[in-house]
Structure 1
Amino acid sequence: MDITLQQVGYLYAKNSPFEKRALHEVDATIHSGSYTAIIGHTGSGKSTLLMHLNGLLKPSEGIVKIGDATITAGTKAKGLKEVRRHVGIVFQFPEHQLFEETVEKDIMFGPMNFGVDKEEARRRAHELIEQLGLPKEIAEQSPFELSGGQMRRVAIAGVLAFKPSVLVLDEPTAGLDPKGRREIMDLFQVLHERENLTTILVTHSMEDAARYADNIIVMHDGTSVMNGTPEEIFSDEERLATYRLGLPRAVKFQRDFEKLIGRSLSKMALTEEILAEEIAKVASEVGGR
């Protein structure tokens, strides 16, 4: 399911004394099956843009196309339910959205709200509990008795249970330790590939954008200013700096290493693993002389 934004603008509190422009002239295309990262400094418009991706907000100007659906300022709310069935959003701290008395019921709520019968919703809940690495007996527990990491996985299961074709992730690792962040991000990567999802990651982490995304949209002061592959985006360090963004740690280390040895590595090291491989190649060449 392709998503296209054409000259999208958004005003909070429109036509009031508190009117504030959050987006202007945003153009972007997110292709079906892609993994796109949306990056930008705080206040760049990332979160407002995110809420346009399933109709939580309607554009004040311009057009948002999600599959066959077209959303404009005049789109009626009743026409957005089908869009929301296809686009699932995992917000920051999704565990704060848990509310049912058991884990099973919490996961079942989403699909049943979209018309899935009770038995099918229950089957999906138990399937996701297993897929997300949670113990089977957790189904009958209160979600509020779980650890923070387990609560987050249950909340994610609740979004996945209605089988969205587009998964939007809003800083999904906020508040987790490094091990927990990597586990959750690797989990989303597996889901992306296995379910052939269109995945959209809104993040402050240049490392996550470089490691997981195949396309990056850069937001700055409410508009889209760059769009390209990670290699294209992170090759322009000077331009990124004007948008108050830096390079991923591995790419920054690569730049310093290349200055030290007086030559370029064979490819951009978007991750620490690639960086280690490239340095090993240089060491092997030097050792063989």
Structure 2
Amino acid sequence: MDISLQQVGYSYASGTPFEKRALHEVNATIKSGSYTAVIGHTGSGKSTLLLHLNGLLKPTEGTVRVGDVNITAGTKAKELKEIRKRVGIVFQFPEHQLFEETVEKDIMFGPMNFGVPAEEARRRAHELIKLLGLPEDVAEKSPFDLSGGQMRRVAIAGVLAFKPSILILDEPTAGLDPRGRKEIMELFNRLHEEEGLTTILVTHSMEDAAKYADHILVMHEGRSVMAGTPTEVFSDAERLKTFRLGLPRSVAFQRDFEKLTGKPLGKLALTEEQLASGIAAALKDGEQ
């Protein structure tokens, strides 16, 4: 399902003395099957934007279109049920939303709430426990007896259990150590590729945006100000700087290397692996 936002505006506490404008005339398109990173400084509107994509928030003005469904200010809750089955959101610290007495029941809760029979929900739960690399015996344990990393995987399984075709990730590695962060991001990338998901990653990490996404949307003060491939977006360092955003470490190092040595690497190094390969090639050429 393609997603489009057409002149979307949103105000918190609209019509009250406490009204706060969060989005201004946002226009954006997210293609089905793409991996889109939404980046921006704190307060840029990233999280408000993602809450519109399954109707948790409805636009004050404009239209959010998800597949064949239009979400406007007047859309009724019952009209959003199908969208919420298709769009799953993994929030920051998703483990804070665990509440059932066992892991199995927690994962089963979402699909059963959408009418999936108990046995099918149980089958999905055990499939996801295995898929997410959790021990088989974890199903009967309390989620609150698990490690922090395991709790997060259980919470992610609960989102995946109703088989969304669009997966939204709101800073999904917040609070994890570097190893746990890498494992979770690689897991989402594998799911994106194997399940054919449309993945939307809201992140402060320029490295994750560069490594995993094929499309980037830049938010600034509630507006969509840039969009393009990682190469297109991270090639414009001066413009990103005006939005208080930096470059991925690999790109910043590449710029310093090229300035110091006068040896251009050719294409933009979006990952450390691309950087190492590009430097090795440039140095080899220089020896010849």
TM-score by length of 2: 0.99
Whole-angstrom distance in 2 between the partners of 1:283 and 1:231 = 23
Indicate the residue corresponding to 1:128 in structure 2: 128
Please list the CA deviations of residues 199-227 of structure 1 after superposition, one character each: whole Å capped at 9, or x if unmatched: 00000000000000000000000010000
What is the RMSD computed on CA atoms of the aligned residues? 0.6
Residue 111 of structure 1 corresponds to 111
CA distance in 2 between partners of 1:116 and 1:96 (Å): 24
Q: Distance in 2 between matches of 1:21 and 1:161?
A: 35
Distance 2:38 2:179 in 1: 23
Aligned residue for 2:65?
65
Q: Distance in 2 between matches of 1:19 and 1:268?
A: 43
Structure 1 segments unaligned to the other structure (5+ residues): none
1:194 match? 194
SS in 1 for 2:168: strand
Per the TM alignment, residue 170 of structure 1 is displaced from its structure 2 partner at its CA by: 0.1
**DSSP-derived class of the 1:176 partner:** coil
Q: Give the Cα–Cα distance (whole angstroms) in 2 for the partners of residues 131 and 85 of structure 1.
A: 20
Residue 283 of structure 1: how far off its partner (Å)? 2.2
1:255 is aligned to: 255
Q: Percent identity?
A: 77
Cα separation, 2, equivalents of 1:235 and 1:284: 25
Offset, 1:178 = 0.7
Separation in structure 2 between the aligned mates of residue 119 and residue 232 of structure 1, nearest angstrom: 48
Task: Give distance in 2, aligned partners of 1:243 and 1:275.
Answer: 25
- Aligned counterparts, 1:132-147, within 5 A: 132-147=132-147
1:211 lines up with 2:215 in the alignment = no
Is the partner of 1:245 in helix, strand or coil? coil
Counterpart code for 2:185: M
Deviations 1:28-63 (A, max 9, x none): 000000000000000000010010010000000000
Residue type matched to 1:27 in 2?
N
For 1:211 and 1:115, locate their aligned partners in 2 and report how far apart those are by CA, in whole Å.
37
1:89-108 correspondence runs (5 A): 89-108=89-108
Q: Distance in 2 between matches of 1:76 and 1:135?
A: 42
Letter in 1 for 2:51: M
Segments of 4+ moved more than 3 angstroms: none
Letter in 1 for 2:15: N
> Could you say which residue in structure 2 is the equivalent of 1:160?
160
Partner in structure 2 of residue 10 of structure 1: 10
For residue 286 of structure 1, report the CA deviation from its aligned partner.
Answer: 2.7
Separation (CA, whole Å) in 2 of partners of 1:76 and 1:162? 22
What one-letter code is carried by the residue in structure 2 that aligns with 1:102? Answer: T
- 1:174 and 2:174 are equivalent in the alignment: yes
The alignment partner of 1:241 has SS state of helix
Tell me the alpha carbon deviations over residues 214-271 of structure 1, each in whole angstroms, 9 at most, x when there is no partner: 0000000001000000000000000000000000000000000001111311211000
2:176 alignment partner, SS class: coil
- C-alpha distance in 1 between matches for 2:199 and 2:132: 17
SS in 1 for 2:27: strand
Unaligned ranges ≥5, structure 2: none
Q: Distance between the aligned counterparts of 1:285 and 1:251, measured in 2?
A: 20
Structure 1 position 78, deviation (Å): 1.1
Q: Distance in 1 between matches of 2:67 and 2:113?
A: 21
Structure 1 residue 23: deviation in Å? 0.3
Instruction: Say whether 1:80 aligns with 2:80.
Output: yes
Q: Secondary structure at the match of 1:244?
A: coil
Match of 2:45 in 1: 45
2:239 maps to what in 1? 239
Q: Distance in 2 between matches of 1:96 and 1:284?
A: 51
Distance of 1:10 and 1:265 partners within structure 2: 43
Instruction: Kindly indicate whether the alpha-carbon contact (under 8 Å) linking 2:264 and 2:282 is maintained by their aligned counterparts in 1.
Output: no
Partner SS state of residue 75, structure 2: coil
- CA distance in 2 between counterparts of 1:67 and 1:110 reads 22
What is the TM-score when the length of structure 1 is the normalising length?
0.99
The whole-number CA distance in structure 1 between the counterparts of 2:31 and 2:42 is 25
